[in-house]
Amino acid sequence: MYKLWLDPVTALIMTTLLIVNCSIFASFIEPQIAGDKLGLSPIVLILSLMGWGVLWGPVGLITGPVLTVVVRIMLEESDSLRPYGIMLGKKDIYSEE
């Protein structure tokens, strides 16, 4: 007949691989992709998610990247605060200037 359950060792290995895969994707790959699309540095994206998430919870996690882009654009438009806006952005965006 069919075996419906995995043995404990296989289940532990599969669970470990799933956790490692999700951790790598959430910590490295996703911020890199989102940072490229939004024009933000991946570390700025991670820190902004943590900050907005602490401030507003799940709503902050959803709106945090957009709000960070808005803050970056506002900083770049101000002459005195432009260096801070540049620090939030990705390096290759400003290499043409």
pLDDT at 2: 65
| Its pTM surpasses 0.85 | no
Q: Among positive and negative, which fits the CA dihedral 33, 35, 41, 47?
A: negative
pLDDT at 57: 92
Mean pLDDT for each consecutive 10-residue tract of the chain (97 residues)? Answer: 74 92 84 79 87 92 90 90 86 55
pLDDT at 93: 54
CA distance 97 to 81: 17
pLDDT at 96: 53
Q: Any idea where the domains of the chain sit in the sequence?
A: 9-91
